Every structure is written in structure tokens, then in C-alpha cells.
Amino acid sequence: MGHDAPQPDDLAFAREALQAEADAIARVSDLLGGDFVRAVDQIEETVRAGGSIVISGMGKSGLIGAKISATMASLGVTSHCVHPADAVHGDLGRITTKDTVIVLSYSGETEEVVALASILRQDSLPIITITRGQGDSGLERLGTVNLSIGVVDEACPLSLAPTSSTTATLALGDALALAASRRMQFNSDDFAKRHPGGWLGDLLRPVTEVLRFRTGENLPVIEANGSVKDALRQASEGGRRPGAIVLTDADGLLVGLFTDGDLRRLILRDPSELEQPIADVMTRQPRTLGADAKVRDAMHMVREHRQDEIPVVDEDGRPVGVLDVQDLLALKVVRE
């Protein structure tokens, strides 16, 4: 039998697996209560006091813990992981008295995790547990705050590998990270500091950092009191220019934009119109970005309004530059 097309049984099985994991997450949502709020309280208190959220788990739970820790760190909640087996061989030194520890074990009885929690409890460290929540596990007896994902049906046949349980644990960890970040009023500027590289970092860069055409450097700003021909002549004196002429009033405030597309349409209609006042054919009150805008704001403007040249203005409305769509293409935040 060939393997070019998926078999109906495969698709049905995959849908059943996904449904099992979705059901597990829905059950976690139903179980949320006061303990979740207390856990968020503890995380916020720890981070504001200069401590870290240390996360520990064995096997698959350890991998889930690493993802939760990474999410927290990216959202302003200082966090790192400690392997429970390594902890008793020297890595306990990575946990300080200012920290809060989140320990993961579906059964609540994982030997290495319970041993680590026992040691930390002796030092009076706050411990948040995430288990299936039977109420009497070794880990829950040691927890300061106990969170439950409930008893779940694993998507894996015969429960040979943790699937639904790890998905539910990850979702609960993400909810903790997001709630704590929200409490601490983490914003896009904070996020940008932690993500300076890659696509996300580019989206959060100030738009003024990516301008190629800047007023006072290589962008002529022309007063809108002459003809189209006069404005074109003045613009050409600056050498390479963006695909639009920036037009101001006598006070230097932006009043219009005249694009290369405007010029083409004018010439095709009647070349003699080059002699008319540019104020009559320019785009008045064009959409602009403030000097404090982010690249993501420019990306949204290009996508929503198909605007290829975007004037960037200061708080008084004076142009500081023009963002050309080619600048965004170079960053690969928009595509042609």
C-alpha cells in the first residue's frame, strides 16, 4: 500500500488525539480558583523583591518546565530551570532564599522532584506545585500553593507517553506567566528590550531607527507654495529621494504628500498640469506616524491602507522623515 495520501483512520486518530488534549486544557480552566490567584501573588511578590521563579521537573515535565520558564523570562518574570537530579549534586546553589520554586509532576510522587521540594521546604522557600491534584501526594503535602490540572485522559494509547497531561501543564504555566506579567504591567517596550533580534525585535524597533530618508540629511522638505514643476526641481536637487515629496506650510508643518503615483497620473492626464500649484494636486492631510511609533505600526499602515510612503512627524506635526515601503521590505516585516 502506498503512503502518498493520509489514510482515513490516521486522520480520525489525529483528531481524537487533538480533542483529548483540548479537553485537558478545558478541564484546567474549570479547575482554576483561589489557588491560582495566590500563585500569581507569590510570583509577583518574588519578582518585585528581586527573586527568580525557579522551575523544576523530571523527563517530559522538565521539558515543559523549560518552556514555561522561557515564557516567563520573555514576559518580564525573571526565571530559570533547575534539574531536580542535578540540584542535589551542586545546583541547589542556583536557588536563593529570595526565589519561589514551581515543581511539576503529574503524579505528585516523582521521587527526584519530591526530594528537591523536601529540601527547599526545610529552607522555608515558597513552593508552587502543579500535579493532577489528588490532594494527598507527597508533592502536594510540601507545597505552599497547589495547582491542579485534574485527572486527564492521555492522548497516547495506553498512556504510554505523557501527552494531554503535559499539554495541560504547559497551558497552566503559560496562564501563570501571562497573569503575572499583566500584574506587573509589562508592556511592548519591556518586551522589545528582551527581544532585540529577529522578526519580533524588528517589529518593536522605533520607526525612527529604520528611516533612510531624514529631514535635514537627505530628505528635502518643500513648501507647498509653488508649481508641481518647481517642487520636482527642488526635490531632485537632493539626489536620491523617496517615492514622494513632503510638503509643508510656511511654518514647517506637514500639509501634504505628492507621490510618484500622483505624478504619473497627472502627466498621463495632461502634461501641462505640471505648471499648476502643487497644493491643488497633492494629498492633503496624509496618514502619518509619530516619531515614537514602532515598525509594527508602519507595517499595519502599509497592510491596511496600501500606503507605500509614510511621513513621520514630531509632536508638533513637523516632518522628521519618510518611511518608504522598501525600508520595511528590507526588514522582511512586509512582503511585496
Question: What is the per-residue pLDDT across 253-279, written as a single tens digit (0 to 9) for each?
Answer: 999 989 888 888 888 888 888 888 999
Task: To the nearest 10°, report the CA torsion of 287, 290, 291, 295.
Answer: -70
Angle at 279 between CA 278 and CA 282, to 5 degrees: 75
Taking each helix axis from N to C end, the angle separating 164-183 and 59-74, rounded to the nearest 10 degrees, works out to 20
Task: Give the integer Cα–Cα distance in Å for 250 and 4.
Answer: 70
Domains plus CATH for the chain? 8-186 (3.40.50.10490), 207-331 (3.10.580.10)
Which one-letter DSSP state was computed for residue 275? G
pLDDT of 25 = 96
pLDDT at residue 301 in the model? 78
State the Cα angle at 117 between 111 and 120, rounded to 5°.
Answer: 145
Q: Which of 120, 171, 132, 146 is nearest to 42 (CA)?
A: 146
Check residue 198 and give its pLDDT: 47
Q: What is the pLDDT of residue 79?
A: 93
pTM (predicted TM-score): 0.63
Low-confidence ranges of the chain (pLDDT < 70): 1-8, 187-204, 238-241, 326-336
| pLDDT score of 226 | 86
